[in-house]
Amino acid sequence: ELKVEQNPLFLSMQEGKNYTIYCNYSTTSDRLYWYRQDPGKSLESLFVLLSNGAVKQEGRLMASLDTKARLSTLHITAAVHDLSATYFCAGEPTTSGTYKYIFGTGTRLKVLA
Amino acid sequence: DAGVIQSPRHEVTEMGQEVTLRCKPISGHDYLFWYRQTMMRGLELLIYFNNNVPIDDSGMPEDRFSAKMPNASFSTLKIQPSEPRDSAVYFCASSVAGVILGEQYFGPGTRLTVT
C-alpha cells in the first residue's frame, strides 16, 4: 500500500530565503502531484510530475521527481509572504489503474516579512 | 466552466440528524472523488466513482456513510445518523480519464459541524 510522507510538517521562513519541502513515498507511484491550500480554502493544483527526472517550475516554486529514490521535492526560491499556505504532495499507486491519490500530511509554510 | 460545485458550503447539525452533501463535477469529467479533511487525520479519500459507478469505497468510515452518483452531473454523500466526530471539511473532486495528467480538480468544500 502506498504511503506518502512529507517533511517538514511546519516551516517558518524569512522572506527572501530558499527552502525545500520533501515528499517520500513507499512504493512505486505512477505520478506525483503537488497542491496548495490556503487557510479555509480548497486545494489548488500546482504541479503534475509524470516521470523520473521530471522538473516543473512556476514562479518561485520548482518541483522535481526522482522515482528511483521515491522522492519528490518542492523548492522555494526567495520566498515571499504570498507563498504562505499548506502544500500537499499526492502519489498515485501504480497498481491502481485510476487517478486515486494518496495524500501526504501537508507542510504548513509561513513566510515572515 | 464553473468548476466543481458543492453545497451547502457550511452545515451545522445536531448529533443523530441526517446530513446530505452535494456535488456537481466538472462537465465531461468521468471520475468523482469524495474526501474528508480534519486536523487529526489530514486528507482522506472516502470513495470514488468512475462513470457513475462506485469503484472503491474502502475509505468510508462506517455504515453511517453512503454515497451515490445517480448521473454524471450529480453526487451525494450522506451521513445518517451524524456524530460529532464527523465534523470535518468534505471535498468533492473530479477528473477525466484518457488524459495523461490525471489531475483532480477540487470543489470549495463543505464544512460540517455536528454538535
> Mind listing the pLDDT tens digit of every residue in chain B (115 residues)?
689 999 999 999 999 999 999 999 999 999 999 999 999 999 999 999 999 999 999 999 889 999 999 999 999 999 999 999 999 999 999 998 765 567 899 999 999 999 9
Closest chain B residue to the Cα of A99, Cα to Cα: B102
CA distance B69 to B67: 7
CA distance B102 to A3: 19
Strand A71-76 relative to strand A61-66, pairing? antiparallel
B105 touches chain A (CB under 8 A): yes
Residues in chain A: 113
* Residues in chain A closer than 8 A to B50 (CB atoms): 98
A3 touches chain B (CB under 8 A): no
CA A7 vs. chain centroid, Å, equals 10
Q: Residues with Cβ < 8 Å from B103, sequence gap 6 or more?
A: A33, A45, A48, B95
A80 touches chain B (CB under 8 A): no
Work out the number of other CB atoms within 10 angstroms of the CB of residue B13: 17
Contact A106 B42 (CB under 8 A): yes
B45 touches chain A (CB under 8 A): yes
Hunting for cell 455504515 — which residue is that?
Answer: B63
